[in-house]
Amino acid sequence: MLHIVNKSATERSTLESCLRMATKGSAVLLIEDAVYAATNGNAAAAKIQAAAADLKIYALGPDLAARGMAGRVLDGVNVVDYGGFVDLVAEHSNCQSWL
Amino acid sequence: MSDMDEMEDGSGIVKKFMFLNRKAPHGTVYALEGLEVVLITAAFDQDVSMVFTDDGIYQLMKGIDTKGIEVKDFSRTYRALEGYDIEKLYVDQASLDARGLTEDDLIVDVTVLSVDEMANLMVEQDVVISF
């Protein structure tokens, strides 16, 4: 399953809700303000790194760049472009957007 | 003379305005709209402080490149604030820490305040407007 999160983890609890529900082997794609969670030093970084043991974590590159965060991505997080976003949706049988 | 009379004869009341910015730049329209209102306020020669806390400090990140998401990059406007005599820019130390950032990561010169200093600054304002 593909989980998509679009809100900042330092403002909303949607990333936490997502990580609580996501089962082993699932993918989590961070887009829009959710990409901050995948950057070095962010308060949510430890949660992302812990989750990366069981989940595949992706972050949308254009959203990172638009926030000045392209050079600060956590190790273990895969950066994808819009084509990669489409591939993730196509590869997974279902998806959940944590609005 | 009442406050209203003073405004009507243009003698000019100057109030202390704090603009409190707590939202990241592109996920919502708050940051851009807040910036527009700050520029309008400055045109009326008011005493303006801009404060960035929580995700609001992300508005000031260096190296923003919005080409990929096809929205306006308004981060350069913060550097132009000085030209509108808006020179009081404050950032919350705890918010920087929670995001692994330092002053050096920001596009403009700011004054970094502790929580207590920030709280005191807020109390002394005539008007606080939140974005």
What CATH number has the domain bearing residue B32?
Answer: 3.40.1260.10
Does residue B11 fall inside a structural domain? Answer: no
Count how many domains chain A has: 1
Count how many domains chain B has: 1
- pLDDT score for B11: 58
Question: Could you list the residue range(s) of the whole structural domain that residue B29 is in?
Answer: 20-62+75-130
Structure tokens at A21: 């529900």
b/e map A5-21, b = 16+ CB within 10 Å: bbbbbbbbebbeebbee
Does residue B5 fall inside a structural domain? Answer: no
Phi, psi of B58 (to 5 degrees): -65, -20
Name which of A15, A30, A33, A63 to mutate to probe chain B: the one with the most chain B Cβ atoms within 10 A of its Cβ: A33
Residues of B in contact with A68 (CB under 8 A): 58, 61-65, 75, 105
CA distances B55 to A61, B7, B27, B59, Å, are 19, 36, 11, 8
Does residue B102 fall inside a structural domain? Answer: yes
Does residue B9 fall inside a structural domain? Answer: no
Q: Which residues contact A79 (CB under 8 A, 6 or more apart)?
A: A58, A59, A60, A61, A64, A73
Mean pLDDT across the stretch A55-75?
98
What CATH number has the domain bearing residue A89?
Answer: 3.40.1260.10
List the pLDDT tens digit at each of the 131 positions of chain B. Answer: 455 555 555 558 899 999 999 999 999 999 999 999 999 988 888 999 999 999 999 999 999 999 999 999 999 999 999 999 999 999 999 999 999 999 999 999 999 999 999 999 999 999 999 99
Nearest in space to B127 (alpha carbons), one of B49, B54, B53: B49
Question: Could you list the residue range(s) of the whole structural domain that residue A24 is in?
Answer: 2-98
Nearest in space to A77 (alpha carbons), one of A91, A90, A44: A44
Q: Does A7 touch chain B (CB under 8 A)?
A: yes
What SS3 class is residue B3? helix
Of A55-59, A77-81, B1-5, B82-86, the range with the lowest mean pLDDT is B1-5
Does residue B46 fall inside a structural domain? Answer: yes
What SS3 class is residue A27? strand
- Position with higher pLDDT, B2 vs A95: A95
Q: How many Cα neighbours within 13 Å face the side chain of B77?
A: 15
Does residue B47 fall inside a structural domain? Answer: yes
